[in-house]
């Protein structure tokens, strides 16, 4: 290699060049001028600025370089040690992309920052967004979200709605009495779902499902009335909409922003999460207040609901259940704390009102999923 004041050149075939456009390799000479000149048989075929040349993965005994100003697959391979040293002297940023101690530290630092951001979003951001956005969502939008969620619930439970006429009539009578006492309109609907899971859920938009598994564990109509009043409280407070925003996360919010509600995968995920999501203590306290208020208005006691939940808690505690059964029981989605039970006991009243259902109506309701 000859070195002059302004440039140096390699001998013939001092390097191998891949132009990035084909797999053919070129035996080239290198001229170290103002920029690296790559020549094949004396013809200039590429010119690389020194500050754009970077190290590429290579093997022992070979220096491999690439260039940010060249096609992505372009490579230069140098086995001649003297030629490699000369190139390294002229490339101030040759190892800039190589991860060293500082680079690793930066990556670790940014990773922890990203993790902290995710934790902050989950712990503070999403609950804050759910709390602030829920009152701003129009009822028409919530109805559409509720319809999409309702489809998912029916799909998950094979559309097993219990529609035996006498039992359904008794159920609708009970729901109408409770709904009227709370001052909710007829847009709030309810149905009995033929599942042996002991649960009851309220969906966005005002759809309530009572599961037959919970109905069969009830000893009297006041126990079920308290549960339905509790779910009506969630409807009135829009707790299900708030919970769906929280469980659906940012993808659900983006879907709402762009109008993708009924077909959003986030709705599917949020609906499934809603079935086994746990309401917060404050949310449950608000729904319990609705139960106490309605039952007192109707001259009934709220205590039977607590007795039902306590009974379900005792029985469920020793059972493993089927796949997913424990996850969606009412004591999972509506945690029964000592505070809640004590409050319902404290609000116990002597029943002075008319029974919410007659004995025959209660028997029909209990058989709504099994009567022929």
Question: What are the extents of the domains in the chain?
Answer: 2-90, 99-136, 138-366
**Average predicted confidence (pLDDT) for the chain:** 79
Nearest one of 83, 86, 66, 81 to 17, comparing CA atoms: 66
Residue 345 pLDDT level (bands cut at 50, 70, 90): confident
212-249: buried (b, 16+ CB within 10 Å) or exposed (e) per residue?
bbbbebbeebbbbbbbbbbbbbbbbbbbbbbbbbbbbb
| CA gap 187, 205 in Å, rounded | 8
Grouping H, G, I as helix, E, B as strand and the rest as coil, residue 104 is: helix
Question: For residues 348 and 302, is the Cβ–Cβ distance under 8 A?
Answer: yes
Domain 2-90 has CATH 2.30.29.30: yes
Quick check: 99 pLDDT over 60?
A: no
Strands of 200-203's sheet in order across = 189-193, 207-211, 200-203
State the alpha helices, DSSP H only, in 298-355: 303-317, 330-333, 338-346
234-287 residue pLDDT tens? 999 888 887 777 666 555 555 555 455 544 554 554 555 555 556 677 788 888
Q: How far is CA 184 from CA 64, 147, 181, in A?
A: 75, 19, 8
43-87 residue pLDDT tens? 999 999 999 999 987 777 789 999 999 998 899 999 888 899 999
pTM over the 0.85 mark = no
Between 312 and 332, name the one with better pLDDT.
312
Question: For residues 321 and 251, is the Cβ–Cβ distance under 8 A?
Answer: no
The fraction of the chain above a pLDDT of 90, given in percent, is 41
The distance from CA 116 to its chain's CA centroid, rounded to whole angstroms, is 18
Highest mean pLDDT among 124-138, 186-200, 212-226: 212-226
Give the pLDDT mean for 287-296: 93
Nearest one of 185, 275, 276, 181 to 228, comparing CA atoms: 181
User: What pLDDT is recorded for position 238?
Assistant: 87
Nearest one of 134, 115, 138 to 126, comparing CA atoms: 134
Question: What radius of gyration, in Å, describes the C-alpha atoms of the chain?
Answer: 35
User: What pLDDT is recorded for position 3?
Assistant: 41
Question: For residues 157 and 195, is the Cβ–Cβ distance under 8 A?
Answer: yes
């Amino acid at each position: 290699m000859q070195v002059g004041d302004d440039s140096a050149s390699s001998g013939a075939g001092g390097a191998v060049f891949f132009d990035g456009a084909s797999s053919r390799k070129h035996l080239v000479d290198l001229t170290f001028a103002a920029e690296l000149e790559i020549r094949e048989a004396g013809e200039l075929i590429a010119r690389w600025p020194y500050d754009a040349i970077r190290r590429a993965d290579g093997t022992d005994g070979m220096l491999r370089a690439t260039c940010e100003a060249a096609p992505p697959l372009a490579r230069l391979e140098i086995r001649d040690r003297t030629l490699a040293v000369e190139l390294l002297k002229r490339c101030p940023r040759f190892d800039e992309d190589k991860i060293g101690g500082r680079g690793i530290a930066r990556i670790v630092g940014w990773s922890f920052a990203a993790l902290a951001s995710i934790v902050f979003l989950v712990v503070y951001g999403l609950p804050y967004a759910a709390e602030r956005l829920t009152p701003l969502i129009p009822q028409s939008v919530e109805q559409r979200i509720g319809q999409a969620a309702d489809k998912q619930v029916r799909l998950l439970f094979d559309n097993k709605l219990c529609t035996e006429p006498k039992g359904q009539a008794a159920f609708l009578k009970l729901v109408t009495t409770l709904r009227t006492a709370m001052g909710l309109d007829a847009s709030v609907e309810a149905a009995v779902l033929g599942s042996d899971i002991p649960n009851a859920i309220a969906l966005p938009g005002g759809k309530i499902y009572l599961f037959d598994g919970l109905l069969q564990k009830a000893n009297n109509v006041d126990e079920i009335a308290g549960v339905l009043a509790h779910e009506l409280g969630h409807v009135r407070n829009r707790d299900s909409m708030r919970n769906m925003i929280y469980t659906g996360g940012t993808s659900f919010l983006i879907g709402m922003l762009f109008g993708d509600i009924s077909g959003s995968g986030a709705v599917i995920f949020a609906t499934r999460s809603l079935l086994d999501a746990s309401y917060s203590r404050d949310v449950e306290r608000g729904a319990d207040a609705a139960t106490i208020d309605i039952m007192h208005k109707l001259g009934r006691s709220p205590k039977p609901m607590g007795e039902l939940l306590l009974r379900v808690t005792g029985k469920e505690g020793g059972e493993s259940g089927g796949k997913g059964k424990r996850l969606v029981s009412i004591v999972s989605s509506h945690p029964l704390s000592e505070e809640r039970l004590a409050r319902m006991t404290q609000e116990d009243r002597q029943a002075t009102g008319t029974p919410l259902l007659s004995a025959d109506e209660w028997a029909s309701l209990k058989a709504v999923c099994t009567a022929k």
